[in-house]
Amino acid sequence: MRSGYARLHEVWGKSTGRNMTTNNGHVSSPLAVRGATLKFGGVTALDDVSISVADDELLAIIGPNGAGKTSLLNVTAGFYRPQKGRVELSGQDVTGLRVDQIARRGLARTFQGTHLFAGQTVVENIMIGRHMLMKSNVVQAFFQFGPVMREESEHREAAEEIIDFLEIEAIRNRPVGTLGYGLRKRVDLGRALAQEPSILLMDEPMAGMNSEEKEDLARFILDVREARKIPVVLVEHDMGVVMDLADRIVVLDFGRVIAEGTPEEIQKDPAVIKAYLG
């Protein structure tokens, strides 16, 4: 029997995976990491790693524990600066920029744990994701000038649209701390979407979920890629989820890329079977 994830992917169809080629011959991708090397003392976390993500593509990154998956996301998002290599967003070099600067250029991320404010409501947490898009300063916000009120209204409208998209209208006014884990993960996705990203990184979003929660979140991840046209980079240990959702898979082992291809190709790759799947 086919899994629920596979049925969802069949409904939405596969991404075309097309990129644009620039005049100098380089491929302009929503995200590209080129030759990244990251070391902590004598430990090499990433060794000359290169990946690129196509428009509307869902790229999965897999590998054993300690393979460098989260390190790759941290380099991409600006938490770590690689000793060698660079990170590009839509062809622009963002290597060495601060996390907030990279986020303002269109990169959003969800984490293994939910980075939410437990005492705040669902809608308030999603509104927090809008803060970097706000143009008003502290003085304007304090006095509630007309433009500030209009901006606040626009951001709230955007947050409400995300709430509708994620089907969490019924809990919009509940404190996040009162929600189950699966719903908190959905709110965390909403917070990331509130940034209006051009690329979304997701670090083990299915961790700690039951089967029903996984299938719900899988549906929304596909919606992000297909309906909202946002490419997704997914780090995930659940191979059922990965094989059913991904358009393409990159496999890391000891900080190096050992394989890259479609789910069907990766399942048959001897190096992958030896290092991970076997």
Over the stretch 155-213, which tens digit does the pLDDT of each residue have? 888 999 999 999 999 999 999 999 999 999 999 999 999 999 999 999 999 999 999 99
**Cα–Cα distance for residue pair 208/201, rounded to 1 Å:** 18
Query: What is the per-residue pLDDT across 46-87, written as a single tens digit (0 to 9) for each?
Result: 999 999 999 989 999 999 999 999 999 999 999 999 999 999
pLDDT at 152: 73
Nearest to 252 by CA among 88, 36, 107: 36
Average pLDDT over residues 24-43: 86
> Measured between alpha carbons, how far is 113 from 270 in angstroms, rounded to an integer?
33
113: Cβ–Cβ under 8 A, 6 or more apart, which residues?
none
List pLDDT tens digits, range 92-136: 999 999 999 999 999 999 988 778 999 999 999 999 888 766 654
Could you give the domains of the chain? 4-106+197-277 (3.40.50.300)
What's this model's pTM, rounded to 2 decimal places? 0.84
Query: 33 - beta bridge partners?
Result: 51, 87
How many C-beta neighbours within 10 Å does residue 196 have? Answer: 16
